[in-house]
Amino acid sequence: MRFSQLLIPTLKEDPSEAEVISHKLLLRAGYIRKLTSGSYTYLPLGLAAIRKVEQIVREEMNLAGAQEILMPMVQPADLWQESGRWQVYGKELLRFQDRHNRDFCLGPTHEEVVTDLARMNIHSYKHLPMNLYQIQTKYRDEARPRFGLMRGREFIMKDGYSFDATDQGAELTYEKMKTAYHRIFNRCGLSFRAVDADSGSIGGSFSHEFMVLAETGEDTIVVCPSCSYAANMEKATCQMSSASDAITLKEIEKVETPGKRKVQVVCDFLNIKASELVKTLVYVVKDEVIAVLLRGDHEVEDIKLANILGISDEDMRLADDKEIFDATGTPSGYLGPIGLKIRLVADQEVASMSNFVVGANEKNFHLRNVNMNRDFTPTISGDIRKVTSRDRCLACGSELELTKGIEVGHIFKLGTKYSTALKATFLDDQGAETPFIMGCYGIGVSRVVAAAIEQHHDKDGIKFPVAIAPVKVLVLNLSPKDLEISQAAEEIYENLRKENIEVILDDRDERPGIKFNDADLIGIPFRITVGKSFSKDGTIEVRRRSDGETFTLSPADTISTVADLIKKAMA
């Protein structure tokens, strides 16, 4: 491939619409172009990088015993009605009608379609386990498409689904997929962690997310530096931090707190720590207004709260001041649990606190020395708060660390959720009709490319890991008008091709400075320069993009040296 003929529209400046580095570099280096919000065209380099990731995914999935299929992207509503998700999936599901006014959607995921496939075609335990996957464009009408390939509305996903006859079998399949995922992300050159993830209403620890560690990640992950514990913030637990020593419970005391509404302001005024106050937040859950209690210095983790309420976090939000006043008769800032006539959800740590401060349900007043179970009883109590970096690991007691991660993969033991809903059964070895035990396994293929750039770049551009770089070598012909140099560059280019080493020849009639800059920007792992030194002493320079190391070689040694360097980098 010749640079002069390829569509690689590099840009000098950072595009203003891009916030994160991978988005900036993918645009600047001519890998992608935006069509509309969250939809991108993959240009030759972008598509080549995606194909590399796909190939690694394919090899590892096949090795783990999965089979590739390709399901339709357009899915009939009937199946989603059968699973019950037509009503609950919300606005991310792009729905439309065909010419006969029948409802359809663009597939954001394929549990329904694959379960339908299984119920029609797998009838006996003898055909189990079965593990099917596809690599396909998915559509999700994301509320906030952003960061380029990181959160698109249209993006490429590998989605896999397994069917097992027994629970043990399903767990074995799950473990196989976990191993395959470790291999895939290692081969992609990513630094990542598998973390315990929220598995919604299903429970158990049968969900892991694969997180690429990067500042720009949208997820917060909690990691123990001393043991193997790692979890998504949505799921993370920690030791209780409140002391529950036998303390004398004091009499409630009403105190005037004129105009003091915010936690810190109330605490300063009363000269107490935020950990000695219990705040009362108000949420609207579907159509109901509820109160949520937690220690003043803690924050609600919405997913945990949604889980103990048995709803989706999309169905709840913080109430506004008017809704708070209408539901409680008290202006926000002075709310407390005593005498409140709405459902009360308390974080588990409130139970171990004593003699704390709460709002008095009266403007300008708070109460001191309040105690749960003596003065009020919550409707529900449980772990609903976010872990902080001051908290300690439940397993080993070390102080936990919080870091940011980009979710590139997610594996999930589904159980019989979909097979029961869609009546997808097989005959077990006793001849009994049994629902399949399912698992599902996703990888954000296009997101992997963005995540790799977040981890591998410098101020000049991308530094692609060798395994997923669009091509391995870029040959720069620094003087296309010089016959000798051009011939040497052409020869190296041809010899690399003969060795099946993917290469682009920069044959453009441009200044060397432009070629060097573009080479750094597009981030091809090895750059071979044929220029003045070749005319002078017949040498060629090979430069490794990852660390800038250069090698001065004769043309005869160049090909084998580069081949060796590539081999080493991929080992």
Which of these segments, 76-84, 327-335, 340-348, 402-410, binds ligand ATP (CB under 6 A)?
A: 402-410
Q: Work out whether 85 is an interface residue with ligand ATP (CB under 6 A).
A: no
Residue 4 DSSP label = G
Nearer to ligand ATP, 314 or 510 (CB): 314
Which of these segments, 122-130, 343-351, 405-413, 430-438, binds ligand ATP (CB under 6 A)?
A: 405-413
Q: Work out whether 131 is an interface residue with ligand ATP (CB under 6 A).
A: no
Q: Work out whether 301 is an interface residue with ligand ATP (CB under 6 A).
A: no
Report the 10 Å Cβ neighbour count for 17.
Answer: 11
Report the 10 Å Cβ neighbour count for 341.
Answer: 10
Q: Work out whether 213 is an interface residue with ligand ATP (CB under 6 A).
A: no
* Binding test (CB under 6 A) with ligand ATP, winner from 8, 64, 135, 157: 157
For 352, phi then psi, to 5°, come to -95, 5
Which of these segments, 187-195, 231-239, 331-339, 440-448, binds ligand ATP (CB under 6 A)?
A: 440-448
Nearer to ligand ATP, 407 or 520 (CB): 407
Q: Work out whether 409 is an interface residue with ligand ATP (CB under 6 A).
A: yes
The answer to whether 451 and 219 have CB atoms below 8 angstroms apart is no
Residue 424 CB, nearest approach to ligand ATP (Å): 20
Q: Work out whether 217 is an interface residue with ligand ATP (CB under 6 A).
A: no
Residue 313 CB, nearest approach to ligand ATP (Å): 11
Tell me the number of residues near ligand ATP by CB under 6 A: 15
Binding mask 265-284 for ligand ATP (x = CB under 6 A): --------------------
Does residue 378 have a cis bond before it (omega within 30 degrees)?
no
For 318, phi then psi, to 5°, come to -70, 140
Q: Work out whether 142 is an interface residue with ligand ATP (CB under 6 A).
A: yes
Q: Count CA atoms within 13 Å of residue 517 on its CB side.
A: 10
Residue 390 CB, nearest approach to ligand ATP (Å): 26
Q: The tokens of 199 are what?
A: 């598995």
Residue 93 DSSP label = S
Which of these segments, 147-155, 294-302, 362-370, 487-495, binds ligand ATP (CB under 6 A)?
A: 147-155
* Binding test (CB under 6 A) with ligand ATP, winner from 23, 24, 279, 410: 410
* Binding test (CB under 6 A) with ligand ATP, winner from 85, 140, 304, 413: 140
The angle formed by the CA atoms of residues 274, 276 and 278, to the nearest 5 degrees, is 80
Q: Smallest Cα–Cα separation from 231: which of 393, 390, 349, 399?
A: 393
Nearer to ligand ATP, 8 or 445 (CB): 445
Radius of gyration over every alpha carbon of the chain, rounded to an integer in angstroms: 29
Q: Work out whether 408 is an interface residue with ligand ATP (CB under 6 A).
A: yes
Residue 22 CB, nearest approach to ligand ATP (Å): 12
How many whole angstroms separate alpha carbon 513 and alpha carbon 516?
A: 5
The angle formed by the CA atoms of residues 294, 296 and 302, to the nearest 5 degrees, is 45
Residue 146 DSSP label = B
Q: Work out whether 313 is an interface residue with ligand ATP (CB under 6 A).
A: no
SS3 247: coil
Dump strand ranges (E) for 17-126.
Answer: 32-36, 39-42, 67-68, 74-76, 95-97, 103-106
The angle formed by the CA atoms of residues 452, 455 and 457, to the nearest 5 degrees, is 95
Residue 18 CB, nearest approach to ligand ATP (Å): 15
Which of these segments, 26-34, 249-257, 408-416, 484-492, binds ligand ATP (CB under 6 A)?
A: 408-416
Between helix 445-455 and helix 21-28 the angle, nearest 10°, is: 100
Residue 82 CB, nearest approach to ligand ATP (Å): 20
Residue 68 CB, nearest approach to ligand ATP (Å): 17
Q: Work out whether 23 is an interface residue with ligand ATP (CB under 6 A).
A: no
Q: Work out whether 109 is an interface residue with ligand ATP (CB under 6 A).
A: yes
User: Cβ-closest residue to ligand ATP?
Assistant: 444
How many whole angstroms separate alpha carbon 421 and alpha carbon 224?
A: 38
Residue 145 DSSP label = -
Q: Work out whether 336 is an interface residue with ligand ATP (CB under 6 A).
A: no
SS3 310: coil
* Binding test (CB under 6 A) with ligand ATP, winner from 30, 152, 378, 405: 152
> Which H/E stretch holds residue 111?
helix 111-121
Residue 197 CB, nearest approach to ligand ATP (Å): 8
Residue 440 CB, nearest approach to ligand ATP (Å): 8
DSSP letters spanning 164-208? ESSHHHHHHHHHHHHHHHHHHHHHTT--EEEEE---TTT-TT-EE
Which of these segments, 306-314, 335-343, 420-428, 441-449, binds ligand ATP (CB under 6 A)?
A: 441-449
Q: Work out whether 439 is an interface residue with ligand ATP (CB under 6 A).
A: no
Four-point Cα dihedral 381, 383, 387, 393, nearest 10: 120
Residue 494 CB, nearest approach to ligand ATP (Å): 38
Residues facing 291 on adjacent strands? 282, 344
Nearer to ligand ATP, 1 or 194 (CB): 194
Residues facing 477 on adjacent strands? 530
Residue 408 CB, nearest approach to ligand ATP (Å): 5
* Binding test (CB under 6 A) with ligand ATP, winner from 155, 192, 229, 283: 155
Residue 90 CB, nearest approach to ligand ATP (Å): 12
The angle formed by the CA atoms of residues 298, 304 and 305, to the nearest 5 degrees, is 80
How many whole angstroms separate alpha carbon 146 and alpha carbon 51?
A: 22
Nearer to ligand ATP, 208 or 295 (CB): 208
How many whole angstroms separate alpha carbon 140 and alpha carbon 123?
A: 32
How many whole angstroms separate alpha carbon 548 and alpha carbon 521?
A: 13
Nearer to ligand ATP, 151 or 456 (CB): 151
* Binding test (CB under 6 A) with ligand ATP, winner from 129, 439, 444, 531: 444
Q: Which residues bind ligand ATP (CB under 6 A)?
A: 109, 140, 142, 151-152, 155, 157, 407-410, 442, 444, 446-447
